[in-house]
Amino acid sequence: MRLEQVQAFLLVAQLKSFQQAALANGVTQSTISRQLQALETALGCQLIHRGQQANLTVAGELFFRRAQRICQEWETSTLELGELLQGKQSELCVAAIHSVCVSALPPLLPRFCERYPAIQLRVTALGSDRALKVLRDGLVDTAIIMGRRGLETTKEWVVTPLYTEPIALLMGASHPLAQEAQVTWAQVAEYPQAVFKEGYRMRGLVEEGFSQRGLSPRICLELNVPDSFYGVAAHSEMVALLPQSLLVPALNNPQLAIRSLVPPPQRQVAIATTADRLKIPLIADFYHLVVERLTA
């Protein structure tokens, strides 16, 4: 069954004439007849009585209502897809890691909202793995994540590295390691540590750093809210390895201290979407705005 066959059936049913249906559709009467015959063959029943007037059969009466819905759905879908490809979305959904939500994104979001005042921009803070999952499931349009090896080479994703940033050690101002100008991984391994929960790539990066040096971190607490790390460090001997962008609020806090590690670890931040989404003007504009501003 083809759409033009259903449309031909509706014209004949509404005009009660093969000739009038052909004129209305700009085709020959034989074309309308062939389309209707093919439809009846596909459905296995006669839909139109052939006579002086083209009237619906019992089966035609039943199918008529369905045919109207089929064509209406097609018209609605075509309209919505056309608007999508013209950038006429009603909203844009973004998932981003916490550090980007509190540091890099805020200056960009008002600029985008000014450019698209009718668009509802939704930003959700998620770990990298979760952000990629909701992108894969179609719940968001783009994701800003911690980069990882292999992601850039897959056919499904379009991934652009944005920047790299150092990872430093957060601790209380009275912590023993606060007396050092720099600390080693071995020194950090001696103290209890607060880390991001499983599913956050920052957690994996920290564990990988210790493993590469034959060390095991003393993980005592799992968190997923950045502000929680500050309070925990200020009131205990726990330390935390965090990216520089998450340590900005701690710089002027007299209860906290930040020290660099030797050798210094780094992480990469990247933006990702799927190839088909990047063809949609609104998504492409946001994607390129982020790339332009955060790679400069």
Cα–Cα distance list, 243 to 15, 64, 99, 259, 286 (Å): 70, 63, 8, 12, 24
Domains of the chain in sequence order: 3-85 (1.10.10.10), 91-158+272-294 (3.40.190.10), 163-268 (3.40.190.290)
End-to-end CA separation in angstroms for the chain = 54
Q: 53: burial class by Cβ within 10 Å (0-12, 13-18, 19+)? A: exposed
261 contacts 155 by C-beta, under 8 angstroms: no
What SS3 state is found at 233? helix
Query: Which positions of the chain have pLDDT values less than 70?
Result: 80, 83-88, 149-153, 296
H or E stretch including 164? Answer: strand 157-172
Write the pLDDT tens digit of every residue in 91-120. 899 999 988 998 899 999 999 999 888 889
Q: What pLDDT does 28 receive? A: 87
Q: Taking all residues of the chain, what is their mean pLDDT, rounded to a whole number?
A: 88
Question: CA 62 to CA 82: how far, in whole Å?
Answer: 31
